[in-house]
């Protein structure tokens, strides 16, 4: 996972709308007012033409300006593009082929259930599971690499291994367990699980499925203990959404704890945690 940390792509927010209505969404209250000109300027500021540019934000695949953005990126010499998506539009294989023509080379797909009952109840979009899974099948058939982001919630925490098992047939490049950042709709214990409860489940799966590349995203490294090398901090940690508690002053990392998480659970679970030095 140290290697993965070193090759994280540059993320560029382009999405303005979404075709899901996820109960764990952290962007529901975020309004992306970027104009096309603003997005073009962001590409202009990126100096390394060989770096991977990941298009994300709400649901980028349904952006009305998607192909204008891709055309501009290609004209500027960016040919290693990826997309973070819920995967629903990827159920249309011709759409994927068109993306390939604009140098979209890989995808990060969010999946939160191993069946439609669980997944659709969390996306609040009937039929979303079927479309996302058809998208995974298309990616596999076209031999396009993709990773899976599993957002860990109260509702799916006991089914994480079921989701991993379900994914085996689709051969994702790697699987990430994402910390559900409290915010917007997800602001209570009904949706946000306690980290010390779910981290043992995640680390067990990391070690059980050693033939897969499994990691975690967004959990405080100190709670990961000896497995902290499998953990990557998420983008939101750098947006003034975290705070430091006593243990942070002795830790070699600078991740902190999400303020909104402390609002729900406090800091008691960190009292006996050792800092990483």
Structural tokens at position 220: 């405080």
> Cα 54 to the chain's mean position, in Å?
11
Res. 1: pLDDT tops 60: no
Res. 192: pLDDT tops 90: yes
Q: Which sequence spans correspond to the domains of the chain?
A: 2-238
pTM of the model: 0.91
Among 29-38, 99-108, 206-215, 254-263, the range scoring the smallest mean pLDDT is 29-38
Q: Across 23-27, 159-163, 229-233, 266-270, which has the greatest mean pLDDT?
A: 159-163
CATH architecture of 2-238: Alpha-Beta Barrel (3.20)
The 3 state secondary structure assigned to the chain is CHHHHHCCCEEEECCCCCCCCCCCCCCCCCCCCCCHHHHHHHHHHCCCCCCCEEEECCCHHHCCCHHHHHHHHHHCCCCCEEEEECCCHHHCHHHHHHHHHCCEEEEEEECCCCCHHHHHHHHCCCCHHHHHHHHHHHHHHCCCCEEEEEEECCCCHHHHHHHHHHHHHHCCCEEEEEECCCECCECCCCCCCCHHHHHHHHHHHHHHCCCCCEEEECCCHHHHHHHHHHEECCHHHHCCCEECCHHHHHCCCCCCEEHHHHHHHCCHHHCCCCCCC
In the beta sheet, which residues pair with residue 85? 109
Question: What percent of the chain is predicted at pLDDT more than 70?
Answer: 91
pLDDT of the residue at 237: 52
In the beta sheet, which residues pair with residue 242? 258
pLDDT of the residue at 28: 64
pLDDT of the residue at 256: 83
Looking up tokens 């800091």 gives 267
**Are the beta carbons of 248 and 256 closer than 8 angstroms?**
yes
Instruction: Give the contacts of 103 (CB within 8 A, at least 6 positions apart).
Output: 70, 73, 74, 78, 79, 80, 81
């Amino acid at each position: 996972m140290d290697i993965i940390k070193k090759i994280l792509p540059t993320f560029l927010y382009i999405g303005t709308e979404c075709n899901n209505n996820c109960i764990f969404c952290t962007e529901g209250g975020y309004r992306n007012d970027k104009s096309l000109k603003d997005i073009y300027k962001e590409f202009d500021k990126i100096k390394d033409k060989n770096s991977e540019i990941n298009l994300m934000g709400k649901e980028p695949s349904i952006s009305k300006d998607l192909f204008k953005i891709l055309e501009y990126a290609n004209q500027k010499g960016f040919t290693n593009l990826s997309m973070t998506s819920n995967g629903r539009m990827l159920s249309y294989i011709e759409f994927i082929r068109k993306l390939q023509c604009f140098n979209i080379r890989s995808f990060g797909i969010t999946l939160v259930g191993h069946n439609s009952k669980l997944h659709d109840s969390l996306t609040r979009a009937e039929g979303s599971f079927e479309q996302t899974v058809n998208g995974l099948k298309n990616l596999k058939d076209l031999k396009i690499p993709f990773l899976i982001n599993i957002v860990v919630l109260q509702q799916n925490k006991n089914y994480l291994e079921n989701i991993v098992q379900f994914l085996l047939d689709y051969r994702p490049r790697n699987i990430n367990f994402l910390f559900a950042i409290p915010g917007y709709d997800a602001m209570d214990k009904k949706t946000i699980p306690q980290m010390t409860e779910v981290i043992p489940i995640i680390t067990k799966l990391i070690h059980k499925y050693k033939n897969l590349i499994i990691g975690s995203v967004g959990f405080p490294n100190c709670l990961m203990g000896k497995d902290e090398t499998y953990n990557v901090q998420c983008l939101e940690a750098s947006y003034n959404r975290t705070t430091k508690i006593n243990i942070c002053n002795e830790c070699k990392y600078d991740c902190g704890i999400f303020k909104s998480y402390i609002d729900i659970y406090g800091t008691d679970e960190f009292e006996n945690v050792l800092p990483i030095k």
